[in-house]
Amino acid sequence: MLIVVAIIAILIAIAIPTFASSLNKARVATDEANIRSGYAEVMTEVLLGNFDVEDVSGSTATYYLQKDGSVSTDNTADNLYKCQGAPSSDVEIAGQTVTKWSKNSTVTYNYENGKVVINKTA
């Protein structure tokens, strides 16, 4: 009976880190999809002329990824999307390298030199 309990304990010790790693990978994949979706929305709106590429001071306008997946200039903390995972390395999204982020990071977009740039905040 002790041998069976020991084998089960070993299997559990192996399974828990594997499960946690898989869960983080799923969260990172969700974050990537949301960031990519926000990028596409900003690019579409800029190309259609619906978003201003400059704010009233003449500097580059910043757009924030919202909880509902939309993008807005509203940076109210309650409305911002917070990343759920933490990738182990930088991630390629929409043709640009996004430096790895930590859990609860927020995502911003800027239009610079004819290109939408993805940024994240700690």
Residue 25's pLDDT is what?
A: 93
Residue 47's pLDDT is what?
A: 82
pTM of the model: 0.80
Residue 55's pLDDT is what?
A: 60
Residue 7's pLDDT is what?
A: 94
Residues in the chain predicted with pLDDT less than 50, given as ranges, are: none
Residue 56's pLDDT is what?
A: 57
**Residue corresponding to tokens 């020991």:** 6
Residue 120's pLDDT is what?
A: 83
- The pLDDT tens digits for 60-69 are 788 999 999 8
Residue 35's pLDDT is what?
A: 94
- The pLDDT tens digits for 44-56 are 888 887 777 666 5
